[in-house]
A and B are shown apart, each in its own frame.
Chain A
């Protein structure tokens, strides 16, 4: 069964420094997608970045980059130049393969990492 593991319940980072949030996954499916979402205290889920299992390069979106190591089954999120507004919960998620019509498309979420940015 597919599984996402985030081993860091909480992380602290100094403002303007970089931080890495860990995510490992388990799947026997050769084709999958990995997502990172940010959840501020208000509760909404904000999509940050996506990595496909066949993508040759690591994904980047502004200050966010994904350190994708396929052989190790890890997809760590790197936030550069942390800002106070980055304080939030961060969730790693994996999307299942869609071979079977009525069983695809679901996101499987990790437990999340709470990031606190210190001024």
Chain B
């Protein structure tokens, strides 16, 4: 089955630690995205990537980093510089930069800082 997988589903981090959230897709999509969702809020874009080895900052990139070494994978690292990292993180992908293609989302990772 084609889709997007995110791991882990739940992640606990101590303050001062970096953590990496995994996102893998087998949909052969060119574009991938990371969003952050806080309770009762909409999604905000952290980073996005159109092609391998290229990515751009979204609206709230501070304290996060990404890589895109493979088309299928777009991991997100939450660094210790992120002041308030506790949130729900969603990864998405889409077929191309055609504006009419919807984004498909993974199941999400819930990160809690202890």
Contact = CB atoms under 8 A, between A and B. Distances in A.
Interface of A: 4, 31-33, 35, 37, 42-47, 50, 52, 91, 93, 95-98, 101-107, 109-112
B105 interface: yes
B107 A43 contact: yes
Contact of B45 (A4, A43, A107): A107
9 contacts: A43-B108, A43-B110, A47-B103, A50-B100, A50-B102, A52-B100, A98-B99, A105-B97, A106-B33
A47 B94 CA distance: 12
B43 A107 contact: yes
B69 to A, nearest CB: 18
B103 A107 contact: yes
A102 to B, nearest CB: 5
B99 A106 contact: no
B105 A45 contact: yes
B107 A44 contact: yes
Interface residues of B, number: 29
Interface of B: 31, 33, 40-45, 48, 50, 54, 56, 58, 88, 90, 92, 94, 97-100, 102-108, 110
A32 to B, nearest CB: 7
Contacts of B99: 31-33, 95-98, 104-105
A93 B100 CA distance: 12
A8 B31 CA distance: 32
A4 to B, nearest CB: 8
A97 B42 CA distance: 20
Given A33-B99, A95-B99, A44 B108 contact: yes
Interface centre among A31, A93, A107 (most CB of B within 10 A): A107
A5 to B, nearest CB: 11
A35 B102 CA distance: 8
